[in-house]
Amino acid sequence: MSIEMKTDYGQIEISNEVIATIAGGAAVDCYGIVGMASKNQLKDGISEILRKENFKKGIQVRHENDEIHIDMFIIVSYGTKISEVAHNVQTKVRYTLNQTLGLAVDSINIFVQGVRVTNP
C-alpha cells in the first residue's frame, strides 16, 4: 500500500517502504537504541540487529480509516530507561516524518525485542 497526496502540481504517492526507511533512520539516531529488530522474531529466530537496508523488516506501517499507525520493533541498550528511550523514539520519528514527508502519524507503537550490552 501507499499514501497518496494531492498538491497543486499533481499527485504524490509515498510507499510504505519509504515511510519505514525514514522512520527507522530516525529511530536508530536516538540515544539508547542499539538497532532495529525483525517484527517476525519467532519466525526469524533470535533477535538480530537489522542493517539500514532492512529497516522495513522491523517496522510495520498500517493505514486504518485515513489514519497512519506505525509499529516499531527495537533493541535497546543495557542500562537505559526503556520508557524514556521509547518516548524519545516516538517523538523523533513523529517529527522526522512530519518534516520530511508532511505526514501526520496518529500512533507510533514501540515493541522492545531485546536488550544488548554495547561497547563504550
Q: pLDDT digit string (tens) for 17-68?
A: 899 999 998 998 899 988 888 776 655 455 556 566 666 778 899 988 888 9
What band does 82 get if pLDDT is binned at 50, 70 and 90?
Answer: very high
**Predicted confidence (pLDDT) at residue 88 exceeds the cutoff of 80:** yes
DSSP string, 52-117: GGGGGGGEEEEEETTEEEEEEEEEEETTS-HHHHHHHHHHHHHHHHHHHH----SEEEEEEEEEEP
What single letter denotes the amino acid at residue 4?
E
Question: Considering the entire predicted model, what is its pTM?
Answer: 0.82
Classify the C-alpha dihedral 100-27-60-52 as positive or negative. Answer: positive
Is residue 9 packed enough to be buried (19+ CB in 10 Å), middle (13-18) or exposed (0-12)? exposed
Task: At 93, list the grid cell.
Answer: 520519528
What band does 86 get if pLDDT is binned at 50, 70 and 90?
Answer: very high
Q: Which domains does the chain carry? A: 2-116 (3.30.70.1350)
